[in-house]
Chains A and B, each alone.
Chain A
């Protein structure tokens, strides 16, 4: 797959990253390299191999439906750059 400047622009927008021009150019080359390696992997015949959905051969790891007290709000909001004691505050996101 060809990595174009537009694609890097698109992906950085999706990731909410503002990349300086020289970094965009460097990324284009690096991403191209990573995907080229995927092409090497793609040459393997995997028709008989079941797709891997988890790195360990485990399944059905679940828990019972029992409530454990949540974190205190004070503790929780410590993780926020901005809060008002009740809610997290972020730049305007709704209209």
Chain B
């Protein structure tokens, strides 16, 4: 029998606000344990939460970008549970009236184009971090993250493959980065994913029993977890067993999912409307204002790069896929560097160096103005392309000024044509055989002679001028 995998995603994204969702504590990452806390985020009696205006704005902007309908009248609900990651014993979330619903995202994979429907997007607060201490057999609680604003984006079960899931997440990440509402750093946990997965006989319209996988913090882990879990469920069904609806934890080291001890009492969060927070009523004028502020997204920008700058579709796609690359590209172009040149440097040398150093584009030190200077030096004939590539590789880690670097290392191109002429004369004199070969019609030998001359000039001459000089002397 052939099986079909059906996947839905719940993605938690940390919003890039300065303060927490209901109090003025900082959201800065790291920090000594329990130094970003106050009576409000600790849920002390007598305190009142007040919603951060930016959180509402960011959630709306994300909802609009995901083609959702904004719930003009929305409010918060209380999700009750006792677990020491939340000192309040409840999480403020949105169950009944999420801020955005019914959206969709278009994705593209090798299998073609697909539409992924967004079920809803809601606001909620993050919980604290628990660390078990094996020495004392106690659990240490750090509440710095309590109350850090999150949006949870829930899709319909529209994915069939891991490739589609990754394409969706990349698109989501890019969209949120363009909006500036989140920095989507998976390593720091600002984008986290739960995967709901079930399998069914191909062609069936009914959904099978699903499991939920948590603890997926990289695209690689997501892909492997999906493959593993689909195979596990198919094997169970083929053996005549059944899939148990449960939460499973992905273990990156063991490359497998494990059942999380299910509490004897099934999840029962006894949600009710949050009495401490008045409802939100968003006016059409407010939403209109936000719509007007939405930036140009990856798709539109990609088309514009092709149209305006004549970039090939593939190149335009690579650059617009990451906001950090877009910012770099546009900054260099704004400084007057030719767009095609900038793009070629970025997708060639820059990508190679990023890969070598294991860096993300946003982590690199190299600045757009430094690359623009380098491109300009090539255009002015101060250095040739080969030298430029070497300079690029050298200045990349620390963003050393390219002009200083070229000057300090004496890499300027030889401008003195009489020196070029003399060098060619010497080379020809030393290689009479090669000269004879050329005279007998061997064009190939030309490259050898040019290479010899360039080597003698330490690679600092303009290869075109050298080539011309060699030809002239041979033919003359």
Bound together: yes
A residues with CB within 8 A of B: 10, 13-16, 53-56, 58-68, 70-71, 73, 76-77, 79, 82, 84, 86-95
Closest to B283 in A: A60
B24 within 8 A of A: yes
Contact indicator B51/A62 (Cβ below 8 Å):
yes
- Which of B27-35, B166-174, B311-319, B464-472 lies on the face that meets chain A? B27-35
- In angstroms, how far is the closest chain A Cβ from the Cβ of B174? 24
B293 within 8 A of A: no
Q: Which of B38, B55, B56, B83 is the most central at the interface, judged by chain A CB atoms within 10 Å of its CB?
A: B38
Contact indicator A92/B138 (Cβ below 8 Å):
yes
**List of A residues within 8 angstroms of B275 by Cβ:** 54-55
The DSSP consensus for interface residues of chain B is loop
B336 within 8 A of A: no
How far is B19's CA from A10's CA once the two chains are assembled, in angstroms?
Answer: 38
**List of A residues within 8 angstroms of B136 by Cβ:** 89
How far is B261's CA from A10's CA once the two chains are assembled, in angstroms?
Answer: 18
Q: Which residue of B19, B130, B277 contacts A65 across the interface (Cβ within 8 Å)?
A: B19
Interface residues in B368-410 by Cβ distance below 8 A to A read: none
- In angstroms, how far is the closest chain A Cβ from the Cβ of B74? 10
How far is B37's CA from A66's CA once the two chains are assembled, in angstroms?
Answer: 15
Contacts A71-B39, A94-B131; is A65 near B142 (CB within 8 Å)? no
**List of B residues within 8 angstroms of A84 by Cβ:** 140
- In angstroms, how far is the closest chain A Cβ from the Cβ of B91? 15
B residues with CB within 8 A of A: 17-19, 24-26, 32-39, 42, 44, 50-56, 75, 80, 82-84, 87, 130-133, 136-143, 261, 265, 268, 270, 273, 275, 277-281
Q: Which residue of B19, B38, B55, B140 contacts A88 across the interface (Cβ within 8 Å)?
A: B140
- In angstroms, how far is the closest chain A Cβ from the Cβ of B414? 57
Contact indicator B140/A89 (Cβ below 8 Å):
yes
Contact indicator B18/A88 (Cβ below 8 Å):
no
How far is B149's CA from A62's CA once the two chains are assembled, in angstroms?
Answer: 14
Contacts A56-B278, A63-B50, A95-B261; is A73 near B32 (CB within 8 Å)? yes
How far is B138's CA from A56's CA once the two chains are assembled, in angstroms?
Answer: 43
**List of B residues within 8 angstroms of A15 by Cβ:** 82
Q: Which residue of A61, A82, A92, A95 contacts B137 across the interface (Cβ within 8 Å)?
A: A92
**List of B residues within 8 angstroms of A10 by Cβ:** 265, 268
- In angstroms, how far is the closest chain B Cβ from the Cβ of A35? 15
Q: Which residue of A70, A71, A91 contacts B138 across the interface (Cβ within 8 Å)?
A: A91
How far is B270's CA from A77's CA once the two chains are assembled, in angstroms?
Answer: 30
Q: Which residue of A16, A54, A88 contacts B143 across the interface (Cβ within 8 Å)?
A: A88
- In angstroms, how far is the closest chain B Cβ from the Cβ of A18? 13
Contact indicator A94/B18 (Cβ below 8 Å):
no
**List of A residues within 8 angstroms of B261 by Cβ:** 95
Contact indicator A66/B19 (Cβ below 8 Å):
yes
**List of B residues within 8 angstroms of A13 by Cβ:** 265
Contacts A54-B275, A63-B53, A71-B38; is A87 near B142 (CB within 8 Å)? yes
How far is B275's CA from A47's CA once the two chains are assembled, in angstroms?
Answer: 22
Contact indicator B138/A89 (Cβ below 8 Å):
yes
**List of A residues within 8 angstroms of B19 by Cβ:** 65-68
How far is B19's CA from A42's CA once the two chains are assembled, in angstroms?
Answer: 42
Closest to A52 in B: B273
How far is B24's CA from A64's CA once the two chains are assembled, in angstroms?
Answer: 9
Closest to B44 in A: A79
**List of A residues within 8 angstroms of B140 by Cβ:** 84, 86-89
How far is B278's CA from A79's CA once the two chains are assembled, in angstroms?
Answer: 28
How far is B53's CA from A31's CA once the two chains are assembled, in angstroms?
Answer: 40
How far is B23's CA from A71's CA once the two chains are assembled, in angstroms?
Answer: 12
Contact indicator A16/B130 (Cβ below 8 Å):
no
How far is B265's CA from A10's CA once the two chains are assembled, in angstroms?
Answer: 7
How far is B52's CA from A72's CA once the two chains are assembled, in angstroms?
Answer: 22
- In angstroms, how far is the closest chain A Cβ from the Cβ of B421? 67
Q: Which of A54, A56, A71 is the most central at the interface, judged by chain B CB atoms within 10 Å of its CB?
A: A71
**List of B residues within 8 angstroms of A95 by Cβ:** 132, 261
